[in-house]
Structure 1
Amino acid sequence: MNALVVIPARWGSTRFPGKPLAPVRGVPMLQRVWALARAAAASRGGEGRVVIATDDDRIAAFAAGLGAEAVMTDPAICNGTERAAAVLARLGTRPDLVVNLQGDAVLTPPWVVAALLEAGRDPAVRMVTPAARMSAEALARLTAAKAAGEVGGTTVVTARNGDALYFSKSIIPFRRSGAEDVPVLRHIGLYGYRPETLEALVALPMGPLERAESLEQLRALEHGIPIRVVEVDYRGRTHWGVDSEDDLRRCEALIEAEGELLDRWDGTGSARA
């Protein structure tokens, strides 16, 4: 399978300007994500082209210094999905799968990206995303965070064939007493698309559910595009996103406690299980 991994990396984050180049334990965030993407591709026999999509000359220059491929995109683009579609159009290629790996996904294990690539081999899959089964402890933490007013953390419920039924910022399914054996799946914000699905998706209007939850993947479900959910194992590691400098410090503490994901960050590193 021929995959294109796009890493959207904007400079102008309102909460954390310059975030892609912020150091995480001495290694710039974007360098970490690029190396993780390359490790995932290498684990599948070297399949996959990794491209950084940016709107800023500073990020493009940094990518060039890494030896990474970068594509300049319009600063007016709204989100990572649209940026991935812009890269697809600019490159003029037709990969089997386009993967959107966010530029702040520094704690995404390469085996999770590889699992997405594997699921994309199924010709029936039009769009695919991973989710991790939550432990009782992780679910308790998320429940407490939601009760305290935090918005972060998306869960998903699936049909028997693995396709998503719904994604929500609320914890779903609601489990009555005696239903504790029903798993809760935490969604991981990583997507794979068939090129034609990606092109169709960015042309569709936002629907009421996407607007209500502020979850762009709901646009696909509202318009009848199925999303395959592949369950992944984080192998005891913690999922965490970086939206602020406080998040970055928390991320560094997690790496200190759980260890690095790769043995090198020059694009030739191997995963540490």
Structure 2
Amino acid sequence: MHITGILPARWGSSRFPGKPLHEIAGKALIHHVWDRCQQCKMLDDVWVATDDPRIEEAVRAFGGKAIMTSDSHPTGTDRLAEAIEKLPATTHVVNIQGDEPLIDPALIDELATLMTVEPELDMATAANPLDPSDPAVGDPNVVKVVTAIDGRALYFSRSPLPYFRNQVAGLPVYRHKGIYAYRRGFIQQFVAWPPSLLEQAESLEQLRALENGASIKVIPTHDTAPGVDTPEQALEVERILLSTSS
């Protein structure tokens, strides 16, 4: 078994072009995420998968490893599929978002460990518990997930999920966190399937996996570290980094 951490990092972004190289607290955003991954104990290797030579050059300059991929991939999973074709030793992949500079290395290790315990599991991901009264529950930019008793995902949605027609004490709402672990063979199967109807309706590629009968294990986590989608969020993350290092 060989578990590889892959950080997808593309240049194009309608809200934040060049985001991976945006400087935060003296380092490029992607450099911060790379450094977090170096603290992991369960990853055998870490690579940045990018579509732009400027990102590739920057990653190599700070001592990282980068794989060039196409700039026309419709999903992050398609980018992973191309990357692992160049990594024949890889049996399992943890997809770490390249815009989460505060990601907890322990969460990455937890997902990697799960794949060693259940090596035939198709996918694994994570979710934060939310209070049902939290305004985020109604925010379509916040993806929710409900699970079966054994922790496997039943459905992901941008709508409030579940809908509380009746108040049920102790039933949490889970906010999906965009980190995934995959079995190599499943990634190759996933990208061979056409985009599914639910995936297109919700704009959530993980629904393609569920619609095709895949099993996705969801780990509850209290890692609520914010990602960076806008320059304003970059400033907030910089404030957090500077305050914790002082």
Counterpart mapping for 1:192-203 below 5 A: 192-203=181-192
Return closer, same or farther for 1:253/1:152 CA change in 2, 3 Å cut-off.
farther
Give the aligned partner of residue 25 of structure 1: 25
Aligned residue identity for 1:18 = G
SS at match of 1:39: coil
In structure 2, which of residues 81, 99, 102 is the aligned counterpart of residue 104 of structure 1? Answer: 99
User: Does residue 186 in structure 1 map to residue 179 in structure 2?
Assistant: no
User: Shift of the alpha carbon at 1:84?
Assistant: 0.8
Pair 1:216-2:202 in alignment? no
- Mapping of 1:155-194 within 5 angstroms? 155-194=144-183
Q: Which residue of 2 aligns with 1:249?
A: 235
Q: CA separation of 1:151/1:253 partners in 2, compared to 1, >3 Å: closer, same or farther? A: farther
Distance 1:135 1:254, change over 3 A: farther
**Distance (Å, rounded) in 2 between the aligned partners of 1:239 and 1:208:** 31
Residues 187 and 57 of structure 1: CA distance in aligned 2, closer, same or farther (over 3 Å): same
Q: For 2:128, which of 125, 132, 146 is the aligned residue?
A: 132
Q: Secondary structure at the match of 1:77?
A: coil
Task: Measure the CA separation in 2 of the matches of 1:63 and 1:223.
Answer: 36
- Count residues in correspondence: 245
Instruction: Give the counterpart of 2:83 among 82, 87, 92.
Output: 87
Distance 1:124 1:91 in 2: 19
Q: Is the 8 A contact 1:119 1:230 kept in 2?
A: no
TM-score (norm 2): 0.92
Report the alpha carbon displacement of residue 183 of structure 1 after superposing the two structures with TM.
1.1
**DSSP-derived class of the 2:79 partner:** helix
Residue identity matched to 2:103: T
Residue identity matched to 2:216: I
Residue type of the alignment partner of 2:54: R
Is structure 2 residue 50 aligned with structure 1 residue 67?
Answer: no
Q: Does structure 1 residue 118 correspond to structure 2 residue 106? A: no
Q: Deviations over 1:47-71 (max 9, x none)?
A: 4210011111111111111111111
What 5-or-longer segments of structure 2 have no aligned partner? none
Note closer, same or farther for the CA distance 1:225–1:177 as it changes in structure 2 (3 Å cut): closer
Identity among equivalent positions (%) equals: 37
Q: Quick check: 1:233 aligned with 2:229?
A: no
CA RMSD after TM alignment: 1.9
Question: Residue type of the partner of 2:161?
Answer: I
CA deviations over 1:198-219 (Å, ceiling 9, x no partner): 0000111111110111001001
Q: Deviation string for 1:124-159 (max 9, x for gaps)?
A: 4111111122246xx51314xx3xxx5321111111
Output aligned runs, 1:142-161, within 5 Å.
142-143=136-137, 146=138, 150-161=139-150
Deviation of the 1:255 alpha carbon = 4.0
How far apart, in 1, do the equivalents of 2:129 and 2:115 lie? 20
**What is the CA–CA distance in structure 1 between the aligned matches of 2:151 and 2:207, rounded to whole Å?**
16
Deviates more, 1:118-127 or 1:223-232: 118-127
CA distance in 2, matches of 1:251, 1:135: 24
Q: Which amino acid aligns with 2:52?
A: D
| Structure 1: runs of 5 or more not aligned | 264-273
**Structure-2 residue corresponding to 1:269:** none
* Residues 1:255 and 1:184: Cα distance change in structure 2 (over 3 Å): farther
Instruction: Answer whether contact 2:100 2:225 (CA < 8 A) is retained.
Output: no
Q: Deviations over 1:85-131 (max 9, x none)?
A: 111112233x2311111211222211111111111111341111111
